[in-house]
Structure 1
Amino acid sequence: MQVRVEFTTEPFHGEDDQLPAHVTAAADVLRYAGLSPDLGPLGTSVVGDAEVVVDAVARALKEALAHGATRVTLTLGDVGAAALPASADIVATATDLTDGLSRLIADVERELGGALAGLPRAEKQHAVRLLEERGAFEMRRSAETVAEALGLTRFTVYNYLNRIRDQAAEPAG
C-alpha cells in the first residue's frame, strides 16, 4: 500500500530560506531511508510504501525532536483512497467549488489592494483569516489553492489556520 505522510514540526522560524535544524534533520533521515521528502520551513511530506514510510517517519520525528522540535502534527493517508470516481456530476460540482474559491480569493485581493502573493507576511495571515471567515476552507483541497495564491506552502496555510482557530477557541479575558 502506498501512503502519504505530512507532518509539521514546531517551533516555526518565519518564512525565510533557512530551514530549522529539526526540519533538515528529519529530511536527512527520510532521504537515508531512500525516500524523497517534499519539505518547507513549516511542513514535510513524503509518499511511498507504507512499511518504509511509517518506519522512516517514526525515526525522522525522533530526530526532529532531538534537534529542537517541540511539537509535531502528522497526517497519514492511503494514496489510492483519495481518488474520486469519474462522474460528470462530481466534476461539475468540483468546478463550481473551484470557481467559488477563485471568487473569494479575488474578493480578498481587491479588499487588500493587490495580489496575495505580493503581500507581506502579516497581510497574508490577514488574508487567510478573511478567507476562513468567508468559508473558503470548507471546500475540498482549498488549502492548496489558497497556498498557491499566497505564494506559500499548504503547510504554512494550515499553520496560519491553526493559529486563527486556536485564538478563536481561547476564552476572552
Structure 2
Amino acid sequence: MLDALPAIARAALAGGATRLTLQLSTPAAAREPAGAPPTTLERLITEVERELGTRLADLDRPGKQRAVRLLEERGAFALRKAAPTVAEALGVTRFTVYNYLNRQP
C-alpha cells in the first residue's frame, strides 16, 4: 500500500491539489494481540451497540448522544483513554464526545 503513495500524490498534484493530508489509523481489533480478550471499554461499547441495534458510527446525532450517555452511566469514562476510543467508535472527534458528555439530557 505504501508503494502507491507517490503515484497518488503525483496524481493529486497534477489534478490541481495544493495540499495533501495523510491520516492512518489502525482498527482497535488490530492493535490487540491475536486472541486477546476485549478490554472492558470494548465490551461496554459492544453492549451499547447491541442495545441500540447498530454500530455506534452508524447512529444519527441524537443516537450518538444517547450512546455516550449510556456509556457514561456504565462507567466507561472512568477508564483510561475512554474518550478517544469512544470517539473512534462513534466516528466523531474527542471534542464532540466531551460536548456530548457536557450536554444536559
TM-score, normalised to structure 2, is: 0.63
Please tell me whether residue 149 in structure 1 is matched to residue 89 in structure 2: yes
Deviation per residue, 1:71-93 (Å, 9 max, x gap): xxxxxxxxxxxxxxxxxxxxxxx
Deviation per residue, 1:25-48 (Å, 9 max, x gap): xxxxxxxxxxxxxxxxxxxxxxxx
Aligned to 1:103: 43
State how far apart, in whole Å, the 2-side matches of 1:114 and 1:161 are. Answer: 21
Aligned to 2:14: none
Please tell me whether residue 121 in structure 1 is matched to residue 40 in structure 2: no
Q: Which stretches in structure 1 are left out of the alignment for 5+ residues?
A: 1-94, 169-173
Q: Which stretches in structure 2 are left out of the alignment for 5+ residues?
A: 1-35
* Percentage of identical aligned residues: 69
Please tell me whether residue 133 in structure 1 is matched to residue 73 in structure 2: yes
TM-fit CA distance, 1:119: 0.6
Two-structure CA RMSD over aligned residues (Å): 1.8
TM-fit CA distance, 1:162: 1.0
How many residue pairs are counted as aligned between the two chains?
70
TM-fit CA distance, 1:136: 0.2
TM-fit CA distance, 1:140: 1.2
State how far apart, in whole Å, the 1-side matches of 2:71 and 2:82 are. Answer: 10
Aligned to 1:162: 102
* Structure (1/2) with the larger helix percentage: 2
* Structure (1/2) with the larger strand percentage: 1
Deviation per residue, 1:101-140 (Å, 9 max, x gap): 0000000000000100001110000000000000000011
TM-score, normalised to structure 1, is: 0.38
